[in-house]
Amino acid sequence: MTTDTLPASANAPVTSPLIPALGNTSIVGLQWGDEGKGKIIDLLSGDYDLAVRWNGGSNAGHKVEVGANKYRFHLIPIGILRPGVTSVICSGVVIDPIKTLEEIDGLSSQGVVIESNLKLSANAQVVLPYHKLQDQLAEAKAAGGKLGTTGRGIGPCYADKANRSTAIRLADILDDGRLTEKLMRIVPEKNAILKAVYGAEALDWKPIFEQYRACGELLRPYITDTTQLLHKAWNSGKRMLFEGANAVLLDLDHGTFPFVTSSNCGTGLSVGTVLPAKAVDTTLGVVKAYSTRVGSGPFPTELNNALGEKIRERGHEYGTTTGRPRRCGWLDTVALRYSIAISGATAVSIMLLDVLSTFDELKICTGYKITDGGGVTQAVEWFPADAVELATAEPIYETLAGWSEDITAATSFKALPKNAQSYILRIEHHIGVPVKIISIGPGRHQTLIR
């Protein structure tokens, strides 16, 4: 296997033998989010015509460094950093118009061209003030049963989408009559629920109307039929890069339920984009060189000790959206095999390998010991997504020697310390798919392609 490197210039477009073979590509996180998908999306997006966000909401967060510039994303596709790429937010996303406009303003102030490059689905659901209020009040009331949500209103908005009669789409905030009718009907219903369950003060529909109609006017130039746009692009041979938010283990149906997000993260691309599954040629999974998790829920390899703290500080493991410290632990290949299987990932990108420099030894979880309801303990190699069962999992570890060298300036896989190479090869062995990309720092140029 040959080893190639990205161009030395931090701002150079990315070209490598890997990229032309990818076709339409889906980028998915294989852990509990925060894997560093933003960097990989940014690296690859320059070779695509469209960057497509298809799930989640402003609860997602990506950090991207380009030279001396640092960008933070929550809703807008990272492909927007590439002037020739059309960035599309599909109907599978729930959109907070206020946060979207804040993000547009922030990126514009950094010189990013937005006007001609951003498209929003008219069918995307709108996050409203009562969604955020319900999310925050429910989490506060939950006490010991907290799910660890971001309080951004994402779950309540998706619930209204399923409820249908209380849903408001982007197209609705462009029409005063439709928006008035819906808010006059929905807000009193929400007030009754919020008062009865949480003792909350009533909301007035009129200020919500004024604020969101104003948002609608500002967003009007971007709102379109993205289903038609994407099908035209696909039929004409345009290359598409699909940006998945959150991660497979947070998938609503297949993650560690109920400690998950409110959308399908690893399996819902066709629903979110309205493109058939055959429109995706390659799925690239992204994973940290270790494991992290934000919020509540079982985490078999968590390190509640000095080692976990060392990973957190070296990796700057604090949430992009919330600023919360992330829980840290050893890499879990049981979880990775599961995520790879259900997402269809055919290759992976290992991120933040540089964080593990200076550790004397490293551990990889290769299996679990799980105790069932009858008290019987058995070794398993398949990930149990049920949170109650997973909470009993005791990791089985393989131990490897660490390395002390600074690897952030390495220019090829073979230039890495032998122990770092061995670590990657053991991961590859346990997950059953090739490691194609290795990140050794935040810069575009600090990336090795195998």
Identify whether 62 is a catalytic site residue.
yes
> Residue 430: CB partners within 8 Å, gap ≥ 6?
333, 336, 337, 364, 366, 398
Torsion angle of alpha carbons 34, 45, 420, 362, nearest 10°?
10
Q: Which helix (DSSP H) or strand (DSSP E) does residue 78 occupy? A: none
Q: Are 24 and 88 within 8 A, CB to CB?
A: no
Catalytic residue among 34, 96, 172, 354: 34
Is residue 421 classed as helix, strand or coil in its secondary structure?
A: helix
Partners of 118 in the beta sheet? 87
Question: Cα separation of 31 and 7, whole Å?
Answer: 29
Question: Cα separation of 153 and 134, whole Å?
Answer: 7
Handedness of CA 278, 4, 335, 316 (dihedral sign): negative
Question: Cα separation of 411 and 450, whole Å?
Answer: 11
Question: Cα separation of 67 and 235, whole Å?
Answer: 36
Side chain identity at residue 272, one-letter code: G
Q: Which helix (DSSP H) or strand (DSSP E) does residue 308 occupy? A: helix 306-314
Q: Are 96 and 104 within 8 A, CB to CB?
A: no
Contacts 24+ apart (CB under 8 A), 210-218: 211/98, 212/97, 212/126, 212/128, 212/173, 212/179, 213/173, 213/176, 213/179, 215/97, 215/98, 215/101, 215/173, 216/97, 216/170, 216/173, 216/174, 216/179, 217/174, 218/101
Distances (CA, A) of 417 to 280, 430, 431: 36, 20, 22
Longest Cα–Cα distance in the chain: 67
Cα of 369 vs its chain's centroid, Å = 29
Place of tokens 């599309």: 88
Q: Are 369 and 402 within 8 A, CB to CB?
A: no
Q: E strands of 323-360, at which residues?
A: 327-329, 331-332, 347-351
Question: Cα separation of 147 and 134, whole Å?
Answer: 14
Q: Are 81 and 112 within 8 A, CB to CB?
A: yes
Catalytic residue among 62, 254, 430, 445: 62
Identify whether 34 is a catalytic site residue.
yes
- Residues with a catalytic annotation lie at 34, 62
